């Protein structure tokens, strides 16, 4: 974390669309656990543009949530971001650090990862903000909802009171301050103005009687209401980029629809860019203009919604789409992807396409690391699959059971046995 | 006692399991057209605030009506989907009808027997026939048991395998070489050999070619100097005794393994059947992924050869790709074993995929049932419509689709709305005749009335907002309320009534204001609880009252609820020996442990609710 | 300790192999190992416990003297490395007047009594070694009794909840309201101080005397060992409440797990559900509690012996009581057994901490990725 910015080689911001507000390159996050090194995020690239909703879709263990945490620098031990750049377009910030940290600045872009810790922290809220999956555990149960939102507002207020001096926005809250606030009644971190703003925000996210509800505690809110409150909190800083990590997964469909509508309205109103992370392809389809599909810590396919949903190249994307029962035209049988998500343990990840062991079209060419290839469709469409550049060739296909003979270090997780057994049984009987 | 079934008394263990087995098989279903499971008026109430202090103060416990008068018919071999949002009581229904929770009222018939009044030995038999698969693959397997033990537990409890007198035993004899071989098989060999269609076929291969030679490659049983006998896949569990006789041999086949070994064999078979490998039998649950653990849970349910399985959100905790594997597996198992499923889910696309018929629940009541096709293609109840509308489709045409969402949250189960429980969120509340206002304004008025009636309107807050603490500027007050509730669009008589009511309200008479509004605006949806009619695709909604009246639907012609059964069912429900059944009547909540809403129960209870008018109405209307 | 194969590593290896039978997950073993390696304190704890256990088991072989042999001539010998100057004040009648005569006598430590002797000339080291038997046996048996009682009551209350729970736990709360020492004294007052003489297996087998003779140690050793029966029962009855509370809490949460529902759906009766599903999943916190309880029961036993309520005279607490009178003149008589108690209790608590950290239920039971 405490890498010396001056040591970094001057690379400059990567090329991309001029609308980009965020360009993430080669983001790599590893967890150093007792079982070994886990490569949760492995060289992830994506861009987020002004006012768009960018979707990241993947199953559990695909690294999508860790990607989000890595972007806003909230990865905790035993995890560590080991590599990568997060270029963020913010002219003021660029001007401020042009001289101090030249390697971190390129035009209007700043590589957030090269900025000092305090500055990175100060960007959370006013620049990046996040909505989590479980609203119940994301809000402090012993502080009223209104106060928690007011706190976020206060952070923003103090930051914008001194817009050019990022370094002064450290928002320190020391022990002394805590003592004073606790002992002196009516003296909180938040001011009356920010509390009023909190009520406004609650109203904005559609909470009835916002003034009364602001004084209630999280447990007095329903799940949907809490998620609204979380949205209000995230919006308090008027962030440039809002990262929503499974924002509706814990909610019922009718409430989910409410929250999705709300997010879309607010996004249009404030022109915020949203990174929508979810496992639900339906939510992606409804909300996003561009999509990245993640598997085993990598982005395996990326493009516009139509590219990914209508012309998927990567067999994983195809499999994912084939796994969902279609509500309007039900098929008699689903076509699932056999097997399980890999463990991501470094020792078990071979030098190959990580999907090859579950892939129905695995070929010999898949036994090497696969780069991103351009795929048909829009200019945006790229995929990490050799099928983008060559036809599937039966002759080169890997024989059945090819991966079972691999040294079975995965035996602990039992994942190795499953695909074959599943296949055999479901057809055999 | 707790909710545990009193049925599994240890006194019965091992003594009448065998007989029970026989009885099961010898009591074939009465007819194929009657339902395997018939649920009538099922209720499950929880009571909270039942602490010692409450009891000392003789406080009435608050009841939460998790399930309130549910009727379901589950036909043999079908999959009935039970859908609804969290807290609608669908899981409680599933567990109550299996008697994992004790019903407050109602009846459940399984293959003609009343489940809720079963004694312990009957219940024990029922447990073999009806199983359940849970949602959470992590909490549903005991972390301290190997998966083999998990799967075999049911067999152990019922002291299985036991010989089934109705299963015939036959030997499929193949003789290699030239010998006259006579094979006899013990009657109880069906404990080790899988039976099909009432016959257990034992593959017996007698190798007489090497008779007299020593040793055999296939590890089969070799009698001294005689032929080797092998049983294919049953080699480990069967034993043969070979007696030479004149011109040939007598081979006697018996079970050559302990019950424990037989159970283990069965567990291996089941593991393979659900798509795992038999070699994983000694692993612990934490060594498996979520999808694999769910397969183990399914194997456990299958171990007792049940006819009926409650699938309680079996795939909602799984990733989509794994979910599809499990759905396919469930499909295969159903056709292979002729299983009947009650599939509880909140994911409508999964329900559409796997279910034959669907029942939609809202706040503890079934609001619509029908075949999957009917329900998805032409939903009747506004709630079903909203559910279907809300689901995001994984398709590019979904992009930017704006869903007309239901307003608000599911109401508190402690204070459910009167009449139709869905009316507080319904986009199609029926205004009384003569009141022509658009739906949103009408809803605003209803919201205002509900607030007034509940007494949490807060006149003071409005005055504060107006900035008139002396409460003199009634005009400003009215403006404020109109703006807040969006009542400006009302004209004519409607407008006058509202004007009138607000005037009263400004003078601080909340109740009277509510009365005035109610007088004009009260909807049939508030006053009358809609009933699920007896028709092929029923929906409990007043929108269809006229239609039904016009069609002259006649209550007598009701094929589902025959009055005799209804009566019997109710009576049976009443006389259930369980103290639980009477729990509802314990006013001071004398600590019936069942009803103390503590950790576990409250999660389910959280959600349900309501009011018993419905059941009575229904019964009343039947004859 | 090096990372290679120490004795404990070999022990863990064995545990690894039989973990199936013990239903200890590999993760648990891994945690135990890594906690053990990273924490110096747990090593200290294990070492202390091993020493005490060794003393208790092999007391007849290693005690330098018979702990009960009195030798008034050798009374109050100091431990090695100390000399004791005793001032004796004698009052004599000389010539019709009372005179006080001070005589100073220097007593040297002897090798035969490395930790000195008490006022009766009994060897302190031998008494400490034999006292370990009393303490450990009372600690283990008392804890077992408490655990048996407490866990049964706790599981019943937690599993059945409601009125059963209210009744049992109210009763437990009431017992908790009495200070344990007072309660124990009251019970002993009612029941008397029964004790049981247990023959020493080594002496009975006749292996002690030859070994001791070969080593040049004095014989014979006591052929029976006095177990303070009432004390064991009493400490069990006093301490069961802690087990009841922990077991109840575990049962309350485990009974809500879906695997319990699944077992009931299979037709399992309450006894099976409790014994096969609830209890095994509650063992970790119960085990951790048990270690700590052993320490507290040893302390309680010592207190009772100190106060003279025990049925045995071979006990650390009894020795402290004996030494109390001589604290000023012969400090070791009370201090040596006192130190033994402190080290044992510290050792057990360190092991308890190690187990608690390693078996933290938060870590256990989570599935793989």
Lowest mean pLDDT among B275-279, B580-584, C166-170: B580-584
Chain B residues with CB-CB distance to C27 below 8 A: 286
Mark yes or no for CB contact A254/B85 under 8 Å.
yes
pLDDT at A203 exceeding the cut of 50 = yes
Q: What is the pLDDT of residue C6?
A: 52
Q: Is the pLDDT of residue C159 over 80?
A: yes
Q: Are strands A298-304 and A382-383 parallel, antiparallel or unpaired?
A: antiparallel
A-chain residues near C34 (CB < 8 A): 34
Q: What mean pLDDT, rounded, does chain C reach?
A: 82
- CATH number assigned to the domain comprising residue B39: 3.40.50.300
- Show me where the domains of chain A are located: 5-9+19-288, 295-361+374-428
Query: What pLDDT, on a 0 to 100 scale, did the predictor assign at position A428?
Result: 31
Peptide bond into A339 cis (omega under 30): no
B233 lies in the same domain as B316: no
Among C30, C34, C369, whose Cβ lies nearest the Cβ of A413?
A: C369
Q: Are A327 and A72 contacting, i.e. CB atoms less than 8 angstroms apart?
A: no
pLDDT of residue A183: 61
Tokens read off for B59 = 């406080």
Find out whether C111 and C159 touch, Cβ atoms under 8 Å.
Answer: no
- What are the tens digits of pLDDT across the range B293-324? 999 999 999 999 999 999 999 998 888 888 89
B237, B331: one domain: no
Residue ranges of the domains in chain C? Answer: 49-77+114-348
Residue C129, pLDDT score? 92
pLDDT band at residue B559 under the 50/70/90 scheme: very low
Mean pLDDT, residues A18-47 taken together: 89
Q: Which chain C residues are Cβ-neighbours of A343 within 8 angstroms?
A: 368-369
H/E element holding B463?
helix B459-466
How many angstroms separate the CA of residue A113 from the nearest CA in chain B? Answer: 32
Instruction: Dump pLDDT digits (tens) for B389-436.
Output: 888 888 888 888 888 888 877 887 777 888 898 988 888 888 887 777
Residue C163: per-residue pLDDT: 85
The SS3 assignment for B387 reads helix
Q: Which chains touch C (3 or more CB pairs under 8 A)?
A: A, B
What is the arithmetic mean of pLDDT over C210-233? Answer: 86
pLDDT tens readout for residues C242-274: 999 999 999 999 988 899 999 999 999 899 999
Chain B: list its partners (3+ Cβ pairs within 8 Å). A, C
pLDDT cut 90: percent of chain B above it? 26
Tell me, what's the pLDDT at B577?
40
- Binned at pLDDT 50, 70 and 90, residue B259 comes out as confident
Task: State whether B111 and B17 are in the same domain.
Answer: yes
Domain boundary among B325, B342, B362: B362
Cα distances (Å, whole numbers) of residue B406 to B389, B424, B504, B531, C282? 10, 10, 31, 22, 45
Q: How far is C-alpha C91 from the chain's CA centre?
A: 46
What one-character DSSP code corresponds to residue B77? T
Name the residue with tokens 């649920």. Answer: B39
d(CA A270, CA A203): 15
The answer to whether the Cβ–Cβ distance between C161 and B154 falls below 8 Å is no
Question: How many domains does chain B contain in total?
Answer: 3
Three-class SS string for B228-266?
EEECHHHCCCEEEEEEEECCEEEEEEEECCCHHHHHHHH
**pLDDT (tens digit per residue) in A240-259:** 899 999 988 888 888 889 88
Query: B228 lies in a domain?
Result: yes
Inter-axis angle of helices B120-129 and B17-26, nearest 10: 60
CATH code that applies to domain A5-9+19-288 = 3.40.50.300
- Sole residue written with tokens 């049940």: B306
Homologous superfamily (CATH) of C49-77+114-348 is MetI-like (1.10.3720.10)
Assess whether pLDDT exceeds 70 at residue B212. Answer: no
Give the closest of B273, B279, B352 to A325, CB-based. Answer: B352
Is the pLDDT reported for residue A339 higher than 90? no
Domain identity same for B449 and B502: yes
Residue B68 domain-assigned?
A: yes
Rounded Cα distance between B331 and B353, Å, is 10
Q: Give residue B224's pLDDT.
A: 52
B69 lies in some domain: yes
Higher pLDDT pick, A421 / A215: A215
- Domain final residue, candidates B307, B332, B362: B362
* Residue at a domain's end among B245, B260, B275: B260
Cβ of A426 and B328 within 8 Å? Answer: yes
**Which residues have a Cβ under 8 Å from the Cβ of B288 and sit 6 or more positions away?**
A413, A414, B147, B280, B296, C367, C368
A:C CB pairs within 8 Å: 11
Residue ranges making up the domain that contains B470: 439-522
Nearest-Cα distance to chain B for A413, in Å, is 5
Which is nearest to A250 in space by CA: A273, A216, A214, A225?
A225
pLDDT for res B223: 46
Please state, in angstroms and as integers, the Cα–Cα distance from residue B358 to each residue in B39, B84, B354, B368, C208, following that order. Answer: 15, 10, 10, 8, 81
**Amino acid A177: pLDDT:** 63
* Residue C224: predicted pLDDT: 86
Which pLDDT score is estimated for B198? 77
Cβ–Cβ gap A344/C30 under 8 Å? no
Q: What is the mean pLDDT of chain B?
A: 77
CB spacing of B396 vs A286 below 8 angstroms: no
Structural domain contains residue B514: yes
């Amino acid at each position: 974390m405490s890498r010396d910015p001056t040591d970094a080689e001057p690379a400059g911001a990567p090329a991309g669309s001029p609308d980009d507000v965020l360009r993430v390159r080669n983001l790599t996050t590893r967890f150093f656990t007792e079982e070994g090194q886990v490569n949760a995020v492995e060289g992830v690239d994506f861009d987020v543009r002004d006012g768009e909703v960018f979707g990241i879709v993947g199953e559990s263990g695909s690294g999508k949530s860790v990607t989000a945490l890595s972007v806003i620098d909230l990865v905790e031990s035993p995890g560590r971001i080991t590599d990568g750049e997060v270029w963020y377009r913010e002219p003021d910030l660029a001007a401020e650090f042009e001289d101090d940290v030249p390697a971190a600045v390129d035009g209007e872009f700043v590589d957030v990862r090269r900025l000092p810790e305090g500055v990175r922290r100060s960007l959370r809220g006013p620049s990046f903000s996040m909505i989590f999956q479980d609203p119940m555990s994301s809000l402090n149960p012993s502080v009223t909802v209104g106060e928690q939102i007011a706190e976020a507002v206060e952070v923003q207020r103090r930051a914008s009171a001194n817009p050019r001096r990022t370094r002064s926005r450290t928002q320190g809250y020391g022990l002394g301050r805590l003592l004073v606030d606790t002992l002196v009644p009516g003296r909180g971190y938040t001011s009356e103005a920010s509390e009023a703003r909190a009520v406004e925000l609650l109203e904005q996210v559609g909470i009835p009687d916002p003034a009364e509800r602001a004084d209630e505690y999280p447990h007095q809110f329903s799940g949907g209401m809490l998620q609204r409150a979380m949205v209000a909190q995230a919006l308090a800083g008027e962030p440039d980029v809002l990262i929503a990590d499974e924002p509706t997964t814990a909610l019922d469909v009718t409430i989910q629809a409410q929250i999705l509508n709300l997010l879309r309205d607010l996004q249009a109103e404030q022109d915020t860019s949203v990174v929508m992370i979810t496992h639900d392809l339906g939510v992606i389809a409804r909300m996003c203009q561009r999509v990245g599909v993640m598997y085993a810590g990598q982005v395996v396919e990326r493009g516009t919604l139509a590219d990914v949903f209508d012309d998927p190249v990567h067999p994983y994307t195809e499999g994912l789409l084939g796994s969902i029962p279609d509500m309007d035209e039900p098929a008699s049988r689903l076509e699932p992807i056999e097997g399980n998500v890999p463990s991501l343990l470094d020792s078990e990840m071979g030098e190959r396409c990580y999907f090859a062991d579950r892939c129905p079209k695995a070929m010999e060419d898949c036994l090497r690391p696969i780069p991103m290839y351009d795929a048909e469709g829009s200019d945006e469409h790229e995929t990490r699959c050799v099928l983008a550049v060559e036809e599937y060739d039966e002759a080169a296909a890997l024989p059945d059971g090819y991966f079972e003979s691999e040294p079975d270090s995965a035996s602990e997780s039992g994942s190795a046995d499953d695909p074959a057994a599943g296949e055999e049984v479901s057809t055999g009987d | 006692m707790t909710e545990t079934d009193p049925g599994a008394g240890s006194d019965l263990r091992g003594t009448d399991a065998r007989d029970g087995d026989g009885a099961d098989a010898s009591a074939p279903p009465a007819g194929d057209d009657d339902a395997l499971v018939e649920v009538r008026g099922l209720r499950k109430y929880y009571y909270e605030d039942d602490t010692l202090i409450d009891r000392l103060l003789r406080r009435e416990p608050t009841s939460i009506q998790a399930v309130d008068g549910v009727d379901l018919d589950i036909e043999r071999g079908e999959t009935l989907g039970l859908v609804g949002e969290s807290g609608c009581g669908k899981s409680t229904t599933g567990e109550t009808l299996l008697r994992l929770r004790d019903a407050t009222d109602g009846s459940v018939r399984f293959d003609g027997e009343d489940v809720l009044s079963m004694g312990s030995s009957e219940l024990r038999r029922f447990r073999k026939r009806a199983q359940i698969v849970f949602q959470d693959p992590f909490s549903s397997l005991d972390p301290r048991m190997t998966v083999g033990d998990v799967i075999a537990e049911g067999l152990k409890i019922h002291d299985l395998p036991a010989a089934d007198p109705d299963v015939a035993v036959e030997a499929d004899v193949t003789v290699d070489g030239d010998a006259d071989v006579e094979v006899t098989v013990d009657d109880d060999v069906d404990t080790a050999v899988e039976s099909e269609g009432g016959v257990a076929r034992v593959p017996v291969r007698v190798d007489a070619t090497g008779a007299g030679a020593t040793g055999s490659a296939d590890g089969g049983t070799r009698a001294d100097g005689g032929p080797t006998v092998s049983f294919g896949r049953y080699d480990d569990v069967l034993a043969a005794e070979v007696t030479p006789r004149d011109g040939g041999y007598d081979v006697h086949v018996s079970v050559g393994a302990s019950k424990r070994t037989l159970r283990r064999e069965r567990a291996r078979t089941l593991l393979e059947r659900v798509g795992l490998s038999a070699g994983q039998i000694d692993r612990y649950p934490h060594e498996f992924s979520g999808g694999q653990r769910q397969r183990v849970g399914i194997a456990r349910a299958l171990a007792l050869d049940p006819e009926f399985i409650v699938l309680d959100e079996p795939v909602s905790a799984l990733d989509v790709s794994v979910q599809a594997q499990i759905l396919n597996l469930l499909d295969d198992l159903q056709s292979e074993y002729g299983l009947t499923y009650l599939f509880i889910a909140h994911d409508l696309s999964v329900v559409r995929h796997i279910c034959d018929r669907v029942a939609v629940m809202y706040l503890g009541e079934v609001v619509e049932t029908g075949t999957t096709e009917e329900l998805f293609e032409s939903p009747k109840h506004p709630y079903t419509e909203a559910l279907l509308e809300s689901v995001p489709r994984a398709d590019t045409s979904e992009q930017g689709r704006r869903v007309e969402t239901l307003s608000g949250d599911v109401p508190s189960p402690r204070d459910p709305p009167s009449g139709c429980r869905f009316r507080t969120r319904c986009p199609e509340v029926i205004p009384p005749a003569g009141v022509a206002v658009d739906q949103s304004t009408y809803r605003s008025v209803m919201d205002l009335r509900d607030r007034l009636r509940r007494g949490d309107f807060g006149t003071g807050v409005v005055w504060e907002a107006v900035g008139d603490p002396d409460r003199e500027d009634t005009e400003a007050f009215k403006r404020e309320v109109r703006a807040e509730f969006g009542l400006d669009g009302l004209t004519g008589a409607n407008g006058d009534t509202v004007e009138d009511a607000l005037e009263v309200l400004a003078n601080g008479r909340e109740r009277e204001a509510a009365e005035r509004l109610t007088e004009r605006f009260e909807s049939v949806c508030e006053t009358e609880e809609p009933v699920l009619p007896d028709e092929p695709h029923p929906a409990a909604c007043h929108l269809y009252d006229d239609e039904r009246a016009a069609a002259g639907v006649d209550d007598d012609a009701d094929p589902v609820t025959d009055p005799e059964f209804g009566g019997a069912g109710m009576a049976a429900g009443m006389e259930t020996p369980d103290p639980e059944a009477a729990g509802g009547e314990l006013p001071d909540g004398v600590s019936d442990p069942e009803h103390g809403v503590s950790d576990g129960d409250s999660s389910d209870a959280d959600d349900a609710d309501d009011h018993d008018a419905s059941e009575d109405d229904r019964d009343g209307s039947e004859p | 300790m090096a990372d290679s194969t120490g004795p404990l590593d070999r022990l863990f290896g064995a545990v690894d192999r039989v973990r199936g039978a013990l239903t200890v997950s590999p993760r648990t073993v891994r945690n135990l190992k890594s906690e053990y390696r990273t924490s110096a304190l747990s090593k200290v704890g294990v070492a202390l416990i091993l020493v005490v256990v060794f003393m208790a088991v092999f007391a007849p072989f290693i005690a330098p003297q018979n702990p009960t042999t009195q030798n008034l001539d050798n009374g109050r010998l100091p431990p090695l490395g100390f000399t004791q100057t005793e001032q004796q004040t004698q009052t004599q009648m000389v010539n019709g007047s009372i005179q006080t005569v001070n005589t100073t006598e220097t007593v040297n430590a002897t090798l035969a009594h490395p930790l000195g002797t008490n006022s009766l000339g009994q060897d302190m080291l031998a008494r400490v070694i034999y006292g370990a038997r009393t303490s450990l046996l009372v600690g283990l048996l008392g804890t077992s009794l408490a655990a048996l009682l407490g866990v049964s009551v706790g599981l019943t209350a937690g599993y059945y909840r409601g009125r059963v729970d209210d009744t049992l736990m109210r009763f437990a709360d009431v017992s908790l309201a009495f200070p344990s020492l007072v309660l124990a004294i009251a019970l002993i007052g009612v029941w008397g101080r029964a004790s049981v003489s247990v023959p020493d297996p080594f002496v009975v087998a006749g292996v002690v005397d030859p070994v001791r003779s070969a080593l040049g140690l004095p014989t014979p050793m006591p052929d029976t060992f006095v177990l303070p029966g009432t004390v064991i029962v009493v400490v069990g009855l006093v301490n069961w409440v802690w087990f009841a509370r922990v077991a109840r809490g575990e049962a309350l949460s485990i009974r809500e797990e879906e695997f319990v529902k699944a077992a009931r759906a299979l037709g399992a009766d309450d006894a099976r559900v409790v014994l096969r599903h609830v209890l095994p999943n509650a063992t970790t916190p119960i085990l951790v509690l048990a270690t700590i309880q052993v320490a507290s029961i040893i302390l309680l036993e010592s207190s009772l012996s100190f106060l003279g309520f025990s049925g045995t005279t071979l006990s650390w607490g009894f020795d402290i009581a004996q030494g109390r009178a001589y604290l000023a003149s012969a400090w070791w008589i009370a201090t040596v057994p006192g130190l033994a108690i402190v080290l044992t209790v510290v050792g057990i608590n360190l092991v308890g901490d190690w187990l608690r950290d390693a078996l933290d239920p938060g870590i256990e039971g989570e599935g793989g990725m």
